[in-house]
Amino acid sequence: MMNSMHYLVRALILSGCCASVVVAQVRAEAVARVFGIRTNTASGTAFALEENGRQYIITAKHLLPAIAGKTKVQLRRPDTQRWLETEVTVLHCGPNVDIAVLCPQSAFLSLKQLSILVGSENISLGQEVFFLGFPFNFERPATFKEGKFLLPFVKRAVVSALVEEGDVQVLYLDGYNNPGFSGGPVVAWDPKENRSRIIGVVSGYRNEPRPVRIRDGGRDTPLYVDSNSGIIVAYPINAALQVIRKNPIGAIVK
């Protein structure tokens, strides 16, 4: 399986497809580490992260509520496109932070050639960012000479606010999120390092209640329907890094 991931890495770096990724400032080091996740109750997006020679899987906590300790989840490999049942140890980042850190027994992806910066320092208001994932469980297989690989959707947003809510930081983005992006990475371009940086984890979006009116005559009703406000809710990745550094139990990267 690791060999096929090597082909994915090589394809992303060398192919013409990668040229458009470079222009968009979301390069192979971000794209190749994102994959689908399923639990008994929900599905969404997850991504691999390396810290001190160990690999962890990051996703949204609400995809596996009330689960701590060991459990099994299904993860989809981008190269084989197969769902694999994987045993992980679940670490939470606090009751009010929608991030879960999953610690597999062995590395899920081989990403040695694609190291990425990780950290939510120096976030600027108005900064352009991108978020990656699988909305509505859509698949986007890309064909290279080496084979077909599942790549995440990439959407654009702008940092609107970084707010302290109690003892928790919340990252608000101006963009249009869809169901399925939950757990995906928020990625910014670091011009000093000339590399991508993971700065956050997608949680969801703020709903905006809108009144329901009867079309003929535009009469009001007492009914309201929730609609997407265009405000994305995310959490800074440093919350996950703090938990990882206190619990360095991820899979050893060989």
The first and second tokens of residue 14, run together, are 């060398």
- Each of the 254 residues of the chain gets a pLDDT tens digit; together they read 445 555 455 545 444 444 444 334 678 889 999 999 999 889 999 999 999 999 999 999 999 977 778 999 999 998 888 999 999 999 999 889 999 999 999 999 988 778 899 999 888 899 999 999 999 887 777 766 666 788 999 999 999 999 998 888 999 999 989 999 999 999 999 888 888 999 999 999 776 566 777 777 667 877 777 665 679 999 999 999 999 999 999 999 98
Q: CB neighbours of 82 closer than 8 A, spacing ≥ 6? A: 76
- Cα–Cα distance between 143 and 11 in angstroms, integer? 9
Buried-state track 22-52, b at ≥16 Cβ within 10 A, e below 16? eeebbbbbbbbbbbbbbbeebbbbbbbbbbe
Looking at this protein, which amino acid is placed at residue 114?
A: L
pTM: 0.84
The CA distances from residue 223 to 212, 214, 216, in Å, are: 5, 10, 16
- The helix/strand/coil state of 25 is coil
- CA dihedral defined by 142, 147, 152, 154, rounded to 10 degrees? -40
Domain ranges of the chain: 2-252
Cβ contacts of 91 within 8 Å, gap of 6 or more: 68, 100, 101, 102, 103, 243, 244, 247
Pick the CATH number of 2-252 from 3.30.1490.20, 2.40.10.120, 2.30.30.100, 3.40.50.980: 2.40.10.120
Which residues, other chains included, contact 215 with Cβ-Cβ below 8 Å and sequence gap of 6+? none
| Single-letter amino acid code for the residue at 216 | D
Six-digit token string for 249: 């139990």
Q: What is the pLDDT of residue 214?
A: 77
